[in-house]
Amino acid sequence: MSILIKDTTREERERIVAESIGNINGACDGCASGLADMYQDYIDGKREIRDINMSFKANYESGEESPVRSTCGFVRG
């Protein structure tokens, strides 16, 4: 089964995201609902899942939000 936007309906994309993330209502720390928001462009048919994942990974690997080394250890940059 293809998960590409051109091959799915909005309802199918909602189901794909919900099944992939799991029970977002049962998350006690609230982070899972942020994941659902991250995939809203896919649900709306604007961006493919792979593009969203690649953007997330690129931001994660860029180190923009990572600790910076100082002379006495790590500090938030």
Measured at the CA of 74, the angle between CA 35 and CA 65, to 5 degrees, comes to: 30
Distance CA 22, CA 8 (A): 20
pLDDT of residue 3: 95
pLDDT tens track, the chain, 77 positions: 899 999 999 999 999 998 888 755 554 455 555 677 889 999 999 999 999 988 877 655 555 554 455 555 444 44
- pLDDT of 37: 84
Using a 10 angstrom Cβ sphere, with 0-12 exposed, 13-18 middle and 19 or more buried, the burial of residue 73 is exposed
Residues 6 or more apart whose CB falls under 8 angstroms from that of 44 comprise: 10
Q: Which two tokens stand for residue 46?
A: 């604007």
pLDDT at 73: 47
